[in-house]
Amino acid sequence: MAIIPDQKDWTWVLERPCPECGFRAGKATPATAATMLPALLPRWQTALRRANIEERPDPGTWSVLEYGAHVSDVFEVFTARLELMLREDNPTFANWDQDQASIDGNYSSLDPEEVSSELIQNGLDAAAAYGAVPEEHWERRGLRSNGAEFTVVTLTGYFLHDVVHHLHDIDA
Ligand SMILES: [Zn+2]
């Protein structure tokens, strides 16, 4: 059974604390990402060492392994989006279908150790990339393919929320 494609728009998390995970995305800056991401990575590492991480709690919910592979990709996608915003004026991001990515990337049959080491590396790369953005570039803009507009600052909050919220999803 496939997960139902999630078309939910999460941009509201920039306006108020997330009622599920409690994260205040509106307070985040690229400097937050630089310190917060390295601190969050060990929680992912520990979760990916659990037993039976390839099992879904129910057919419509990703397994810990799938969430880990997803977040590893999130690090890559949001680092690429940041680089695009710094390189081009008001770029539009390529659409990223997360559910299709999980199928194409074969998340459910990946090796947990490989997912874990890739997630750590991608997370550290993201922390370094966000940490290196000088403050005068924090208001540079980018558009999602659905028209939602981000600055470097709001993209950071949106991105960090994803990483924190999925730790909440897997109880880690
Ligand atoms: Zn949340």
Q: Output the CA 77–ligand 1 centroid distance in Å.
A: 19
Q: Output the CA 14–ligand 1 centroid distance in Å.
A: 11
Q: Output the CA 168–ligand 1 centroid distance in Å.
A: 8
Q: Output the CA 165–ligand 1 centroid distance in Å.
A: 4
| Domain assignments of the chain as residue spans, ordered by start | 20-51+60-169
Whole-number pLDDT of residue 145: 84
Q: Output the CA 128–ligand 1 centroid distance in Å.
A: 23
Q: Output the CA 53–ligand 1 centroid distance in Å.
A: 22
Residues 91, 111: Cα–Cα separation, whole Å:
35
Q: Output the CA 22–ligand 1 centroid distance in Å.
A: 6
CA-closest candidate to residue 140, choices 90, 83, 79: 90
Q: Output the CA 21–ligand 1 centroid distance in Å.
A: 4
Q: Please, which pLDDT band fits residue 120 given cuts at 50, 70 and 90?
A: very high
State the pTM of this model.
0.93
Q: Output the CA 172–ligand 1 centroid distance in Å.
A: 13
Q: Output the CA 94–ligand 1 centroid distance in Å.
A: 24
CA-closest candidate to residue 153, choices 170, 126, 130: 130
Q: Output the CA 169–ligand 1 centroid distance in Å.
A: 9
* pLDDT tens per residue across span 42-96: 999 999 999 999 999 999 999 999 999 999 999 999 999 999 999 999 999 998 9
Phi, psi dihedrals of residue 43, rounded to the nearest 5°: -65, -40
Calculate the alpha carbon distances from 105 to 86, 110, 116 in Å. 28, 9, 15
Whole-number pLDDT of residue 3: 55
Fold of 20-51+60-169: Four Helix Bundle (Hemerythrin (Met), subunit A) (1.20.120)
Q: Please, which pLDDT band fits residue 2 given cuts at 50, 70 and 90?
A: very low
Q: Output the CA 25–ligand 1 centroid distance in Å.
A: 9
Whether 6 shows a pLDDT value over 60: the answer reads no
